Amino acid sequence: MSLLSDRAEKTAQVLVMPASLEDRNKAPAGLYRLGLLLTCAWIFTFFGALVIAFFWRANTMAFWEPIPLPRTLWASTAIMAVSSASFEAARRFYRRGEHHIASRLLLVTACLGAAFLASQLTAWHELILGGAYLAKNPYSSFVYIFTGIHGLHLIGGIVALSVLLLRRSKRRELVDAVCYYWHFMGLLWVVLYGTLLSA
């Protein structure tokens, strides 16, 4: 059954849309994409400011003392890359209608996201054992700030991913939006880690 859309402007022809698009309990088409763009723009601006502050502080040299970074962070990077690949595979399977395989890959991605956070906590533990505390010097402060705030944003991605897993009916646009956010978090981590290594 179809209904005349009350969102359609006056035209020479009558525009008929599926009734499902008129369900006010569902988000309008494009809303998830807009939310994704706004969220990523805000995060990009925030971390961009942090990276600028990092390089500015590094150039002043006063009390600036780079510390050896835990090798666990390389493992974190590999885990993030694999999780991004598994999420992308899930997205493509979902678009082809193979929802069962997609759900399994989404679960794998969620587990990899948890593994990434665990590896970050392990890196913090190694830093503390090595005497590199948050307030030791500006460089160590940035290490904790970069990894900690990125981890918080990734937790947001895991929450969104959990919502996808728990929903019996998933909108393709929502799957795409969460997937692209996950890729953005992966790229952001590479930039942050590369920034720390450049000091």
* pLDDT 10s digits, 157-173: 999 999 988 877 677 88
Average pLDDT over residues 132-146: 90
Task: Give the pTM.
Answer: 0.82
What is the Cα–Cα distance from 153 to 76, expressed in whole angstroms? 15
- Residue 110 above 50 pLDDT? yes
Which homologous superfamily is 31-198 in?
Answer: Cytochrome c oxidase, subunit III, four-helix bundle (1.20.120.80)
DSSP state of 169: S
Amino acid 16: pLDDT: 45
The two tokens of residue 68 are 């050896």
- Residue 194 above 50 pLDDT? yes
Q: What is the pLDDT of residues 12-22, one digit of tens each?
A: 555 444 444 44
Percent of the chain with pLDDT over 90: 65
Boundaries of every domain in the chain: 31-198
Lowest mean pLDDT among 19-33, 93-107, 118-132, 143-157: 19-33
Average pLDDT over residues 133-144: 89
Amino acid 179: pLDDT: 95
Amino acid 13: pLDDT: 57
CA atoms within 13 A on the CB side of 127: 26
Amino acid 89: pLDDT: 97
Better-predicted residue by pLDDT, 20 or 99: 99
